[in-house]
Amino acid sequence: MRLSDAFSAASDSGRAALVLYITGCYPDKESFPGILATAAEYADIIEIGIPFSDPLADGPVIQKASEHVLAAGITTDDILDALGALPTPLGKPMAAMGYWNTVFHYGMEAYATRCAEVGISGVILPDLPPEEADEWLEIADAKGIDTVFLVAPTSSDERLQLVAGKARGFVYCVSVTGVTGARTDLPPELGEFVERVRKFTDKPLAVGFGVSTPEHATSVGQMADGVVIGSALLRAIDPAATQEQRLASVRKYLEPIRKALKGD
Amino acid sequence: MSTLDIVRAALGRAEDTPDTSGHYGPYGGRYVPETLMAALDELSAAYDAARVDPKFQAELAEYLSEYVGRPTALTFAPRLSARVADQADVNAEQIRIYLKREDLCHTGAHKINNTIGQLILAKALGKTRIIAETGAGQHGVATATAAAFFGLECCIYMGAEDVKRQSLNVFRMKMLGAEVIPVSAGSKTLKDAMNEAIRDWVTNVRTTHYVIGSVAGPHPYPMMVRDFQRVIGVEAKKQFLKKEDGALPDYIVACVGGGSNAMGIFHPFLSEVAEGKVKLVGVEAAGYGLESGKHGAPLALGEPGVLHGSLSYVLQDQFGQIAEAHSISAGLDYPGVGPEHSFFKDEHIAVYGSVTDDEALVGFRDMAETEGILAALESSHAIAYLRKLVADKKEDLKSGEPMRILLCLSGRGDKDVQAIADHLGIELGDGLAPGVKGSGS
pLDDT digit string (tens) for A20-68?
A: 999 999 999 999 999 999 999 999 999 999 999 999 999 999 999 999 9
Q: Nearest 5 degrees, angle CA A253-CA A257-CA A261?
A: 170
Q: Which residues of B44-68 are buried (b: 16+ CB within 10 A; e: fewer)?
A: bebbeebbeeeebbebbbebbbeeb
Q: What are phi and psi of B76, to 5 degrees?
A: -70, 135
Largest CA distance in chain B: 64
Going along chain B from its start, the domains and CATH numbers come out as 3-68+111-222 (3.40.50.1100), 74-107+230-430 (3.40.50.1100)
Q: How far apart are CA B342 and CA B313, in angstroms?
A: 6
Q: Summarize the confidence of residues A204-209 as an average pLDDT.
A: 97
Q: Give strand pairing partners of A71.
A: none
A-B Cβ pairs (cutoff 8 Å, strict) = 120
Q: How far apart are CA B184 and CA B158, in angstroms?
A: 9
Per-residue pLDDT, B330: 86
Q: Which amino acid is at B92?
A: A
Question: Between residues B421 and A133, which one has the greater pLDDT?
Answer: A133
| Listed residue (A23, A94, A33) closest to A61, CA to CA | A23
Q: What are phi and psi of B149, to 5 degrees?
A: -60, -40
**Residue A264 predicted with pLDDT over 60:** no
- Under an 8 A CB cutoff, do A105 and B305 touch? yes
What pLDDT tens digit does each residue of chain B (441 aa) get?
799 999 999 998 877 789 999 999 999 999 999 999 999 999 999 999 999 999 999 999 999 999 999 999 999 999 999 999 999 999 999 999 999 999 999 999 999 999 999 999 999 999 999 999 998 788 999 999 999 999 999 999 999 988 987 888 899 999 999 999 999 988 888 889 999 999 999 999 999 999 999 999 999 999 999 999 999 999 999 999 999 999 999 999 999 999 999 999 999 999 999 999 999 999 999 999 999 999 999 999 999 999 999 999 999 999 999 999 999 998 899 999 999 999 999 999 999 999 999 999 999 999 999 999 999 999 999 999 999 999 999 888 887 889 999 999 999 998 888 888 888 888 887 555 555 444 433
- Under an 8 A CB cutoff, do A131 and B322 touch? no
* CB of B151 closer than 8 Å to CB of B176: no
- Under an 8 A CB cutoff, do A127 and B32 touch? yes
Q: What are phi and psi of B130, to 5 degrees?
A: -120, 135
Per-residue pLDDT, B435: 52
Show the beta-strand stretches assigned E in chain A: 17-23, 45-50, 94-98, 120-124, 146-148, 150-151, 171-174, 205-208, 226-229
Region of residue B154 (phi > 0: left; psi between -120 and 50: alpha; otherwise: beta):
beta
Question: Between residues A170 and B135, which one has the greater pLDDT?
Answer: A170
C-alpha torsion B323→B324→B328→B331, nearest 10: 80
Residue B42, chain A, CB below 8 Å: the answer is no
Q: How far apart are CA B179 and CA B170, in angstroms?
A: 9
Tell me A44's DSSP state.
Answer: S
- Under an 8 A CB cutoff, do B306 and A59 touch? no
| Residues 6+ positions from A203 with CB-CB distance below 8 Å | A4, A164, A167, A168, A169, A170, A171
- Chain A CA closest to residue B218: A127
Show the beta-strand stretches assigned E in B65-207: 74-76, 95-101, 129-134, 153-159, 179-183
**B224: number of CA atoms within 13 Å, CB side?**
28
Per-residue pLDDT, B433: 52
Residue B151 C-alpha from the chain's centroid = 25
DSSP strand pairing (B27-28 vs B23-24):
antiparallel
Q: Is B135 helix (H, G, I), strand (E, B) or coil?
A: coil
Residue A81, chain B, CB below 8 Å: the answer is no
- Chain B CA closest to residue A67: B186
| Dihedral sign, Cα of residue B208, residue B213, residue B218, residue B224 | positive
**Catalytic residue list of A:** 47, 58
Q: How far apart are CA A33 and CA B423, in angstroms?
A: 48
Q: Where does residue A111 rank: exposed (0-12), middle (13-18), buried (19+ CB within 10 A)? A: buried
Query: Which of B27, B31, B219 is the best substitution to test chain A (most A C-beta atoms within 10 A)?
Result: B31
Q: Nearest 5 degrees, angle CA A52-CA A55-CA A60?
A: 115
- Within 8 A of A152 by CB-CB distance, chain B residues are 33-35, 37-38
Per-residue pLDDT, B1: 79
Q: How far apart are CA A241 and CA A252, in angstroms?
A: 15
Per-residue pLDDT, B438: 40
* CB of B311 closer than 8 Å to CB of B343: no
- Other CB atoms within 10 A of residue B295 CB: 27
DSSP strand pairing (B27-28 vs B74-76):
unpaired
Helix residue ranges, H only, B1-156: 3-11, 34-51, 54-63, 78-87, 111-124, 138-150
Average pLDDT, chain A: 96
- Within 8 A of A154 by CB-CB distance, chain B residues are 34-39, 205-206
| Listed residue (A6, A55, A64) closest to A237, CA to CA | A64
| Listed residue (B150, B125, B135, B143) closest to B40, CA to CA | B125
Q: How far apart are CA A144 and CA B311, in angstroms?
A: 26
Helix residue ranges, H only, B244-356: 260-266, 270-274, 298-301, 339-346
From A101, A106, A152, residue closest to B35, measured CB to CB: A152
- Under an 8 A CB cutoff, do B37 and A155 touch? yes
Going along chain A from its start, the domains and CATH numbers come out as 3-260 (3.20.20.70)
- Under an 8 A CB cutoff, do B33 and A59 touch? no
Rounded to a whole number of angstroms, the distance from the CA of B309 to the nearest CA of chain A is 8
- Under an 8 A CB cutoff, do B33 and A127 touch? yes
Angle between helices B3-11 and B54-63 in degrees, nearest 10:
120
Q: Is B156 helix (H, G, I), strand (E, B) or coil?
A: strand
Is residue A118 very low, low, confident or very high in pLDDT (cuts 50, 70, 90)?
very high
| Residues 6+ positions from B302 with CB-CB distance below 8 Å | B313, B314, B315, B316, B335, B336, B337
Residue A67, chain B, CB below 8 Å: the answer is yes
Per-residue pLDDT, B135: 84
**Catalytic residue list of B:** 111, 133, 410
Q: How far apart are CA A241 and CA A54, in angstroms?
A: 27
Q: Where does residue B33 rank: exposed (0-12), middle (13-18), buried (19+ CB within 10 A)? A: buried
In angstroms, what is the C-alpha Rg of chain B?
20
| Residues 6+ positions from B247 with CB-CB distance below 8 Å | B240, B241, B404
| Residues 6+ positions from B345 with CB-CB distance below 8 Å | B299, B313, B351, B352
